[in-house]
Chains A and B, each alone.
Chain A
């Protein structure tokens, strides 16, 4: 895209008095860093040696909401786009400055202003890092209950801007269920407060209109969030169930009885086979499964481990070696592809990766094989992980009811170990991305949702659409009384990837919309799903456009996102 023409000297002159020399940068290395987030399509390009093309003109690091407002007003006067930036962990290109402009990095506004244990409300600035925020809440006997897999590298503001979800959303809700009010700087440069001190009693729900606006209406600078007391009891179990359809039905029955487990994860047959089925009789999570004798893994590729005292959030791994625990066939394959291996192993790895590549370039074959093969090899159907947590007395009662309901639905109890293993290793997946890319593949995920009535149609339709081009597996999680979310993971070779990538997304989104599902449950829209927004909202886009014109008359706020035009409304 064509960058807006901005005079860098003028830009610097206007912004310097606001943030000062040390909190403003036009250095090439900084600009390059802010030209991307974790969108796999960008990573495909980077892996091929193409650096991000869309860079900001300048990056600033404000420390107060007044500074943010001053920056927005200055940018408005100059006709410069504004792109808010938190952790940069988004997977949809939401922070890519398609027209250049001013990237506002919120991370110097990271204060946890207050945590009130009586009203269970906290006040926190938008740039607060997820992990640090949760730990501080824990220190004060509370939890947000929000555990996205990006928690170590995402911010509160990013969660709110994208309507994020954590792994325990079935109990604690998505981020939009936990927000009691926001403070934000609009595209007009006004500082606004929504729903404070209690919910507004008339008018549009401004909090829910700003949550999910992905920086196109305002920069969120702080939020009041509802916290919960730290759970006194946490119960995790694994179950085996005959098929996806049986598993979905079991979850639906649990939800309709008024029960609210914290964790609900049903893995389809392919996912169960690749990640959960024990090889050579060894159960996943049933004791140390490492087969790499003392092989040292790169610290950057080790997922956090659980803290000694328990708790939901594992610590960042300590220095020193630790035998990597591999999981299933795929995990083993990837560990062999790791650059840390010795030369002979590396060669064997490359050969294997070539073989894997060859197989993966025939995705239909693999997808077709994996299903029945999975059933034949394992004869065990699908894995279901369930977690119940909360205040002690009520949780005991609720857990008994949940497990009873699952068993009545035909699930077989596998005990605590699969559940505990999931809790301890659930962040591992994020550390697999680098080895996947290095092995010549790319991986991405598609998360959609629908009511129960349409859920199996959604599963089949989107799976069908993706499997034309890539190996795909799925799990169902984030259950609600009225429906559920489906999370598809897919792999394909990087060669020719951009075309494949676009084809997969176009087909997947169209399939989701066609059967009445939503195009995104929690990752957001960014650039990636912009083309699908019209199919998702149809005439209701008129409301989004009206909101945009109201909050951002000059069109400077994160242009080109949410399917809105990548153009300023008027020149300064």
Chain B
């Protein structure tokens, strides 16, 4: 087998055009991708700021935007990049900071946008499984499934604007549903292009014991080990029945205890949220509870008797912890926003998201509140996604005058809050276990020796 022929930069554009066609290679900045209104308010932090300003990533001197129409074209582009010494950067919905300014004289960059690879390849209603290309957004997928009485799951609106590829490459616990986990948990099989241009497919099966679950190497790896081109996902029937309920509880701790109690009775709600008092009043209205109290909201869904049973289990638990039932309108308002039918006027979205281990939810929340207070601000919090591992907490920082903290002030409070949260045992977004760093680096070196998926060449070459 001949050694791959290197490609000079001058010839790179022509080579790309030969793969995807002239109209799908450009030097223009990324056209701003339309973020569905349901999703807009739910994207947090820096990504949200950039997105709202309509800012696409900057494209440097030697960079092209390429839009392949198939996984085969992606493979050819990656192989081409390897031969040209270029870097490949996958671009999904564009919400994530996909591009940073290319350093002067740096390697050429190929921003590979998946938006043309947005088809449903196979819908298997017998197995409740769907095979999709990675450029399909969750919203577009739902629009195909819902008329057939199917759904990806009760995912929050923040999930909808992302592409399937993006949801799989970037692990965001907040983008998950109580019953169905994250979209990553729904993966039964994966197709991806490796740095050498080879395409891999992991076998589709409900469960296996044929070695490690190899797809898990790519999920959450942010495109550094492979370019995800398609996935096979578990889907669900639309539920027979849905029930909503809301309760006011004496304190945050009581509300969290009520959740644990209900989960112990094996209640399986479709969605569950606990608002601490101030956050509840901000989102649901001042009349919903006092500041020291908390609000527990639950949506259950499924076979009618079972969904009703789950609702009753949560109600009993809430009552046992001293809760009072709130008017139906409260739960309904929450649900309309949760499903993106209505926008939450409480923009901007939370500044900080952390995962608190089981049993430490209240401690973490209090630690963050204390840190904010030391800087003269107030932390509001709501908690969702309860699991054995813990729960996801969303914090909003508010100045004494009632305005949400912004700009540098927000950054400063957030930094202090992150530190306090970590000390209290929480896990921050984007963190990984320290001891495994060398193994991840080595895996990257082995699978991508020339740094095709490593634009900044953050590691030493092989």
B217→A520 contact, CB < 8 A: no
A550 within 8 A of B: yes
Q: Which of A202, A226, A257 contacts B431 (CB 8 A)?
A: A202
A128 → B minimal CB distance (Å) = 19
Please state if B430 and A202 are interface contacts (CB–CB under 8 Å): yes
- Flag the segment in B81-89, B206-214, B289-297, B409-417 that touches A: B206-214
Complex alpha-carbon distance, A201 and B312, angstroms = 33
Q: Is B206 in contact with A547, judged by CB distance below 8 angstroms?
A: no
**Shortest Cβ gap from B443 to chain A (Å):** 5
CA–CA, A485 to B211, complex, Å?
A: 17
Interface string of B434-458 (1 = CB under 8 A from A): 0110011011001100000000000
User: Smallest distance from the beta carbon of B206 to chain A beta carbons, Å?
Assistant: 4
Rounded to whole angstroms, the CA-CA distance of A152 and B222 in the bound complex is 42
Q: Does A244 contact B (CB under 8 A)?
A: no
Is there contact, CB below 8 Å, between A536 and B203?
Answer: yes
Least CB distance, A257 to chain B, in whole angstroms = 5
Q: Whole-angstrom distance between the alpha carbons of A121 and B127 in the complex?
A: 32
User: Do A540 and B201 form a contact, CB below 8 Å, given A120-B388, A212-B212, A259-B303?
Assistant: yes
Residues of A within 8 A of B267 (CB): 394
- Inter-chain contact B127/A118, CB cutoff 8 Å: no
Contact (A449, B388) CB under 8 Å given A196-B433, A204-B225? no
The reply on A208 being an interface residue by CB < 8 A is yes
A140 contacts partner chain B, Cβ-Cβ < 8 Å: no
Contact status of A198 and B427, CB under 8 A, knowing A118-B358, A539-B199: yes
Among the 9-residue stretches B91-99, B258-266, B396-404, the one with 4 or more Cβ atoms under 8 Å from chain A is B258-266
State how many angstroms separate the Cβ of A558 from the closest Cβ of chain B.
Answer: 12
Please pick, from A193, A259, A518, A546, the residue contacting B433 in the complex, using a CB distance under 8 A: A193
Cβ contact within 8 Å between A204 and B209: no
List A contacts of B430 (CB < 8 A): 201-202
Q: Is the interface of A mostly helix, strand, loop or mixed?
A: mixed
In the complex, how many angstroms separate the beta carbon of B300 from the nearest chain A beta carbon? 11
Please state if A451 and B209 are interface contacts (CB–CB under 8 Å). Answer: no
Complex CA distance for A120 and B260, rounded to whole angstroms = 10
Contact at A204–B216, with CB atoms within 8 Å? Answer: yes
Q: Are A449 and B206 in contact (CB under 8 A)?
A: yes
A-B contact count (CB 8 A): 274
For A227, the closest partner residue in chain B by CB is B388
Interface residues of B in 186-208 (CB under 8 A from A): 188, 194, 198-208
Of A190, A229, A483, A524, which contacts B127 at CB under 8 A? A483
With an 8 A cutoff between CB atoms, is A287 at the interface? no
B358 touches A529 (CB 8 A): no
A480 neighbours in B (Cβ, 8 Å):
206-207
- Please tell me if the beta carbons of A209 and B217 are within 8 angstroms of each other in the complex: yes
Chain A residues contacting B427 (CB-CB under 8 Å) are 197-201
In the assembled complex, the CB of B201 is this many whole angstroms from the nearest CB of chain A, namely 7
CB neighbours (8 Å) of A549 from chain B are: 442, 446
Tell me the bound Cα distance from A512 to B124 in angstroms.
19
The distance in angstroms between the C-alpha atoms of A518 and B208, with both chains bound, is 7
A-B contact list, 21 entries, CB within 8 Å? A120-B264, A169-B207, A193-B435, A197-B389, A198-B358, A201-B428, A209-B217, A257-B303, A259-B303, A394-B266, A394-B313, A478-B207, A480-B206, A481-B206, A482-B129, A517-B205, A520-B210, A521-B208, A522-B207, A539-B199, A546-B443
Q: Which of A's residues lie within 8 Å of B, judged by CB?
A: 116, 118-121, 162-165, 169, 174, 176, 180, 186, 190-206, 208-214, 217, 226, 229, 252, 256-259, 390-391, 393-395, 397-398, 400-401, 449-453, 478, 480-485, 516-525, 529, 533, 536-540, 542-544, 546-547, 549-551, 562-563
